[in-house]
Amino acid sequence: MTLVRQGSAGQGLPSSEPEAGRLELDAYLPYRLSVASNAVSGLIARAYQDRFGLTVPQWRLICVLAEDGDLTQGQIVARTVMDKVAISRAAQGLLGRDLVRRAAHHADGRSHVLTLSPQGARLYAEIAPMALAYEQALIAGLSPGEVEHLKRLLLALQAAATALAQTA
């Protein structure tokens, strides 16, 4: 198989399909998705860390609470498909900075509900425009139709991965 390579990271797209039964990492879709995700997350994580002292899980937790309102950590895990340990650590960090608040769950004494504090809501209002600007910069070379198609494809891949995980 011939690959079009750009730079030492092999970021080019394969010019043809790999031979049947042969795995070639640069042409392997899960690898390409992971590399792209890591590149985007790393870029944005640096901005959140440098300007606001937030990790990516902390920012996601703030976003989910801003969008959905009060949630348990279990609900946040389900919503974000993030590991419960990552959510727990993110919540602890945000609690320590008074960006979120925790209260006992009214129906389940073992569970807690997380709420965005007023300070957390102000931080969200400050960061959200920056996040949207990063998104616009990332998709600037794509048409609106391509962006929508990409979103549909990503949702389909996520659904397929979820279905495969349930059968494994």
Give the residue with greater pLDDT, 168 vs 99. 99
| 15 lies in some domain | no
| 7 lies in some domain | no
Average the pLDDT over 119-142 and give the result: 95
CATH code, domain carrying 108: 1.10.10.10
| 22 lies in some domain | no
| 5 lies in some domain | no
Cβ contact 59:49 at 8 Å: no
Q: Which residues form the domain of 115?
A: 29-167
| 64 lies in some domain | yes
| 4 lies in some domain | no
**What is the structure's pLDDT at 5?**
42
**What is the structure's pLDDT at 150?**
96
| 91 lies in some domain | yes
User: Any idea of the CA torsion for 40, 46, 47, 50, to the nearest 10 degrees?
Assistant: 170
State the total domains in the chain.
Answer: 1
CA distance 74 to 12: 39
CB-CB neighbours of 74 under 10 Å? 14
**What is the structure's pLDDT at 108?**
67
